[in-house]
Amino acid sequence: MKRFENKVVLVTGAARGQGEVEARLFHAEGACVVLADVLDGDAARLADELGSNALAVHLDVSDPQQWAAAVEAALARFGRLDVLVNNAGILRWGRIEDMCLDEYMQVIQINQTGCWLGMKAVLPALKAAGGGAIVNISSAAGIMAIGGASAYTASKFAVRGMSKCAALEFGRYGIRVNSVHPGGIDTPMVHTPDRELNAAYQHQPIARIGTPQEVARLVAFLASDEASYCTGGEFTIDGGMLAGFNATF
């Protein structure tokens, strides 16, 4: 039996990048998947490819009414909800002295508020299912700051903290909540025309950029019964980035 057979998984930011890879893995493992994104065309094409066990829904994660509609659509189509992956996120570069409040708040609204709204929105459905799992995608920047990315860093530290709060609050319902902290991952978010992606990671023990498939496998583990004693945890997947630096002698 596949790990997610008879389970329903909602993934935000599922139309492309890391979210798409996560959704594909859940589907391959037997899940019905709800592909939530603002990129309606990409999400619909993916749903068509995956077939009857996939549903594309429009979701701006910063809008509580759209969250309610997404959960309602999932329940109407599949009858239950077992897993939420809060994957949607954006990155805006800018020093504090140069960034305007609107730019800062855009990142906070999507990365931080969106995660909080998602956990709140799915809670009744997960309780009705008798339990479940929430996996919140934070970042290595949720543990170690990145200069020039104060909004992103603040939002990802918040995701880490909120995940622990939710684990404490939701445990009584049989719902586990964990955060995942990727380092450099090869997705469209980090692509620039003149950048060699592996160059920035040569100092790490694993001297390369990571892949979305590697993150997806960790997310699927945490959402599965294999992680039945894991909650309130922060799971790094960063090639050793946060382990430290080798001294040179």
Q: Which residues have a catalytic role annotated?
A: 152
One-character DSSP codes across 214-227: HHHHHHHHHHSGGG
CA 195 to CA 94: how far, in whole Å? 18
CA 122 to CA 138: how far, in whole Å? 19
Q: Which of 83, 174, 173, 186 is nearest to 136 (CA)?
A: 83
The distance in angstroms from the start CA to the end CA of the chain is: 53
Q: Which of 15, 3, 89 is nearest to 54 (CA)?
A: 15
| The 3-state secondary structure of 7-45, one letter per residue | CEEEEECCCCHHHHHHHHHHHHCCCEEEEEECCHHHHHH
Give Rg (Cα) of the chain. Answer: 18
CA 163 to CA 240: how far, in whole Å? 22
Q: Quick one: 74 exposed, middle or buried, by C-beta within 10 A (0-12, 13-18, 19+)?
A: buried
